[in-house]
Amino acid sequence: MEMNQVTTSIKMRRKRNGQINIKSGNKIDLVVKSTIWILSLLTILAFFFFNYSGLQLERAIPETWHNLRVMFLEPALNHFSWQEAAYQIGVTLGLGILATVFGAIIAFFLALMAAENLSKPWISKTVRIFVAFVRAVPTVLWVLIFAIAAGLGSEAAVLGMLFHSVAYLVKAFSEAFEEVDAGILEALRASGSKWWHVIVHGILPSTFTYLLSWTFLRFEINFSVAVAMGAAAGAGGIGFELFMASGFYFDLREVGFITYAILLIAIILEIMSTRLKNRYFPGQVTS
């Protein structure tokens, strides 16, 4: 590893007795540590400003333990069947798949315009500024914005997740395109290849595995978002059932069952993601 890739600078100073004093750290390291200490201090101070009136720890602790025990040790379905539970999970997965697939397709073409080695500078900067603005707004806000036009439901949820997925994947895809060896692109252009030939024969073969990995990562995120949007935007799915069980029926056993179901799906997605990474990125660590 080259010295310019080392994040911690090593300063060596020779003492009068001939020993070498090794001192690590730089300004960036100092700023990071200072920020962590300040945030930790503010977190501790925040506890002194809470309103503790009416809090009865002798009752709160046993009741909390009872609720957790009922929720996670006695899960049960009381307001819908196993078939309906499977259907609702399928709805949530469908929302995530729709947002991810369409988002990846749109993001691919926008990323071609955002990549500095494939597009004109002014086009690249324009696309980058636009997607940066979209990423800065949380997904739930985009969902609520689209809910004004499309109404509460799965349409608003998919559009909101799609909008944020496009911005997320454009950044990831364009950075992958810019990492392609410039010599490959120059050789294709020198041989008379047109822009699309450069994309098909130079960009895609070199970045396909990265595009697949980033797309699946975004699908994992969209599944989690779809669970939340099921309640926030009325999109249905297992997230809506979780909202009903916790806020309407007050059924802790059903909340526990739904939590276990979501956790199981998340584990399955993680296993699939790991297998894809091991297949297409053997011996490498990816995000």
pLDDT value of position 1: 45
- Is residue 86 scored above 50 in pLDDT? yes
Q: How far is CA 280 from CA 173, 197, 208, 215, 268, in A?
A: 17, 24, 10, 14, 18
User: Where do the structural domains in the chain lie, given as residue ranges?
Assistant: 9-49, 79-280
DSSP state of 47: G
For residues 256-275, average pLDDT: 87
For residues 77-95, average pLDDT: 86
For residues 79-97, average pLDDT: 87
DSSP string, 203-224: IHHHHHHHHHHHHHHHHHHHHH
- Is residue 215 scored above 80 in pLDDT? yes
pLDDT value of position 282: 57
CA distance 127 to 219: 23
- Is residue 157 scored above 90 in pLDDT? no
For residues 214-219, average pLDDT: 90
pLDDT value of position 6: 43
**pLDDT grade for 188, boundaries at 50, 70 and 90:** confident
Region of poorest pLDDT, from 32-46, 95-109, 133-147:
133-147
Q: Side chain identity at 156, as an amino acid letter? A: A
For residues 15-39, average pLDDT: 71
The more confidently predicted of residues 258 and 3 is 258
Fold of 79-280: MetI-like fold (1.10.3720)
Percent pLDDT > 70 in the chain is 87
CA distance 181 to 226: 37
Q: Are 245 and 79 a contacting pair, CB within 8 Å?
A: yes
The more confidently predicted of residues 148 and 219 is 219
**pLDDT grade for 30, boundaries at 50, 70 and 90:** confident
Q: Is 56 left (phi over 0), alpha (psi -120 to 50) or beta?
A: beta
Q: Are 73 and 136 a contacting pair, CB within 8 Å?
A: no
* Burial degree of 150 (CB within 10 A; 0-12, 13-18, 19+): middle
